[in-house]
């Protein structure tokens, strides 16, 4: 959650070591400060996989760009060859 000044509210104020550990994570995030994927990664990726499946089923994987970042779409694309 963001405060009015744009900074992350507690408990998300992280030091440099915490951000370094976060940046080691293998799944992509839309922005470096995208903590949604960190707090609910199962939900986040379940929805992302569902979006990729629907796009694949409709034969239009390019439309993932409307919902996912380019990196996220590339990460999921191998699931639907």
Sequential pLDDT tens for the chain (81 residues): 444 445 545 555 667 777 777 666 656 666 666 656 556 666 777 777 887 888 888 888 787 777 778 888 888 888 888
Query: 45: domain range?
Result: 16-79
pLDDT at 1: 40
CA distance 30 to 36: 10
Coil, helix or strand at residue 47:
helix
What is the SS3 assignment for 8?
strand
**Residue 2, pLDDT score:** 44
Q: Is 7 within the bounds of a domain?
A: no
Count of domains for the chain: 1
Q: Is residue 6 part of a domain?
A: no
Helix (H, G, I), strand (E, B) or coil at 68: coil
Per the CB < 8 A criterion, the answer to whether 80 and 52 are in contact is yes
Domain assignment of residue 31, yes or no: yes
d(CA 52, CA 3): 32
- Asked whether 52 and 77 are in contact (CB, 8 A), the reply is yes
């Amino acid at each position: 959650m963001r405060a009015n000044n744009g900074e992350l509210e507690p408990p998300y104020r992280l030091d440099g070591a915490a951000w370094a550990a976060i940046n080691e994570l293998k799944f992509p995030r839309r922005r470096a400060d995208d903590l949604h994927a960190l707090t609910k990664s199962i939900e986040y990726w379940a929805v992302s996989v569902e979006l990729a499946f629907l796009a694949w089923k409709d034969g239009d994987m390019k439309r993932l760009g409307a919902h996912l970042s380019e990196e996220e779409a590339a990460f999921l694309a191998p699931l639907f060859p």
